[in-house]
Amino acid sequence: MTAMADDATRLEGGCLCGRLRYRLERVKSAYWCHCTLCRRASGSAALPWVSVAREDFAFTAGTPAIFESSPGVARSFCGTCGSPIVFDMARESDVDITIGTLDAPDRVTPTHHIWAASALHMADDLGSGVPRHEGERPDEG
């Protein structure tokens, strides 16, 4: 995780309309996801995420809408403006937050790609130079 200089820093972010605000701290990893679900959820070619322990993330303003995109997987987003914010898989101790909704997204640098097997051609140049895993990252369950 050497690409991330700020793993001890508290970061803040929010949705497009500003109703949802959050804070997170102690960044554990950051990556690009090319799965078809993240593509649909974001409307983007790929979605960059930052991972923190569940207790290191909290909404500080507003209440998100939640969509269960798979059994045990809750995606939180703004019910007013639609910004995707959180990916929360119940069986894992970490949650993922969209880097694009951080106030200072350049403080975090993704170190790898996952689900690259379903990546769009237009996403070939996103975050080039870091490892691309065909599915999940091999050392993650």
> In the complex, which residues of this chain contact Zn ion (CB under 5 A)?
15, 17, 19, 33, 35, 38, 78, 80-81
Q: Residue 42 has which token pair?
A: 């974001």
Nearer to Zn ion, 5 or 63 (CB): 63
Name the CA radius of gyration of the chain, rounded: 14
Query: Cα separations (Å) of 112 from 87, 121, 131?
Result: 17, 17, 5
Report, in Å, the least distance between residue 130 CB and Zn ion: 16
Distance in Å, CB of 8 to Zn ion, minimum? 26
> Closest approach of Cβ 69 to Zn ion, in Å?
9
Q: Which is nearer to Zn ion, 5 or 40 (CB)?
A: 40
**Counting Cβ atoms within 10 Å, is residue 71 exposed (0-12), middle (13-18) or buried (19+)?**
exposed
Of 5 and 124, the one with the shorter C-beta distance to Zn ion is 124
Residue 105, Cβ density class (10 Å: 0-12 exposed, 13-18 middle, ≥19 buried):
middle
Both structure tokens of 132: 């691309």
Q: Tell me the closest approach of the beta carbon of residue 47 to Zn ion, in angstroms.
A: 6
Asked whether the beta carbons of 4 and 111 are under 8 A apart, the reply is yes
* Shorter beta-carbon distance to Zn ion: residue 9 or 118: 118
